[in-house]
Amino acid sequence: MQFGRTTLSKFVIENTRSSHGELGGLLIDVAAAVKTISAMLAKGALAGYHGALESTNIQGEVQKKLDVLTNETILHHCEWGGQLAGMASEEMDDPYRIPEEYPRGRYLLIFDPLDGSSNSDVNVSVGTIFSIFSRPAAGDAQAADYLRPGSEQVAAGYAIYGPSTMMVLTLGDGTHGFTLDRENGNFILTHGNIRVPEDTREFAINTSNERFWEPPVQRYVSECKAGKTGIRGEDFNTRWIASMVAEVHRILIRGGIFMYPKDNKDPSKAGRLRLLYEANPMAMLIEQAGGAASTGRQRILEVAPDSLHQRLPVILGSKNEVERVERYHHEYDSGTDQPFVSPLFSDRSLFRDQA
């Protein structure tokens, strides 16, 4: 029985009245695209969608068939409604212009159609990430319209395609989760006002890159791995799924810290994750749930983008752990951090408070 339970449609309509329904209509179109993608992914190899194409995206990454199909799905579900001035996708070199036959609106939709797509061939959870900005007036968007800090987002969210399909959404007043009821096609509010615990004993990072990390990140992870025998005095668990949606979803539900830090593996890249398509929307969701999101040196939502596909380091999750990593970066940059050698003879000694 669905009677009396809040659907996604009801939620967004009630919470977007000030936009005269345009923002609510756009979010309902996004939800329709998510349902289509969910059905597509559920068929798996039976539908022949698995495998890679010969093409690459602008980042030089080999595209999966599903990267292209999910990208087209979102474009076609959202281009016609009259709410959008344009769209930008991780899978497209340039912003998408709304076809001439459709009316223009004042919103911009920015998205990663299938985050973690490399996991789709092995049946691991993947997702869709989206971000929405508004413009002062309707009309065709210009390239510069997309280059705005994440603090100006009016909505952000993701869908996760796992044992169940969920949409997690913020309109700037809390973070809320909706689960797809496959029997009637409705997203139902199941996780209202999600809160990220301020403390955690769980971290997610790709430790195979440890030799490339900056010293502040090496310091933090080494302390976590030392557990009860180290200065933290507590054991930590580590997780790594290689799907940002899955990592962030776990953190929203039970806490943790996710790190894809700056490293010297490829000095030409400031980071791995994309500011517009991944970092901004996830940072907004995490902050609205009481967590924190940083590059290690700056709040992610304050970063002013200089290009459509800009990359940056991402550290997000439980507030107190993110702030600790930020402090380690500050100490390193200011020269007050010292390499940990011995608890008896270094600045981090047995006789100094390490809290």
- pLDDT tens-digit profile, the chain (355 residues): 344 589 999 999 999 988 778 999 999 999 999 999 999 999 888 877 666 555 656 565 656 789 999 999 999 999 999 999 999 999 999 999 999 999 999 999 999 999 988 887 788 899 999 999 999 888 999 999 999 999 999 999 999 999 999 999 999 999 999 999 999 999 999 999 999 999 999 999 999 999 999 999 999 999 999 999 999 999 999 999 989 999 999 999 999 999 999 999 888 888 999 999 999 999 999 999 999 999 999 999 999 999 999 999 999 999 999 999 999 999 999 999 865 544 444 444 444 444 4
DSSP state of 297: S
pLDDT score, position 338 = 63
80 found inside a domain: yes
Which residue's entry shows tokens 């973690």? 116
Structural domain harbouring 41: 8-191
Q: Are residues 128 and 221 in the same domain?
A: no
Other Cβ atoms less than 10 A from the Cβ of 60: the count is 6
> Is 196 within the bounds of a domain?
no
Q: Where residue 18 sits, what CATH number does that domain have?
A: 3.30.540.10
CA distance 314 to 232: 23
Is 311 part of a structural domain of the chain? yes
- 233: Cα within 13 Å, side-chain hemisphere: 4
Q: Say if residues 102 and 79 touch (Cβ distance below 8 Å).
A: yes
Predicted TM-score (pTM) of the model is 0.91
Same structural domain, 30 and 148: yes
Residues 44 and 170 grouped into a single domain: yes
Is position 1 within any domain? no
Same domain as 162, residue 298: no
Q: Look at residue 52 in the predicted model and tell me its pLDDT.
A: 59
Residue 350 confidence (pLDDT): 46
- 288 pairs with which residues across the strands? none
Asked if residue 226 and residue 148 are part of one domain, the reply reads: no
H or E segment and range at residue 186: strand 186-191
Using DSSP's 3-state secondary structure scheme, residue 255 falls into coil
Residue 291 lies in a domain: yes
Q: Tell me, what CATH number does 281's domain have?
A: 3.40.190.80
The set of residues, in sequence order, having a beta carbon less than 8 Å from that of 267 and lying 6+ positions away, is none
Q: Do residues 186 and 222 both lie within one domain?
A: no
Within this chain, do residues 224 and 320 fall inside the same structural domain, yes or no? yes
What are the angstrom distances between the C-alpha of 309 and each of 31, 34, 146? 24, 23, 11
One domain, residues 90 and 234: no
- Into how many domains does the chain fold? 2
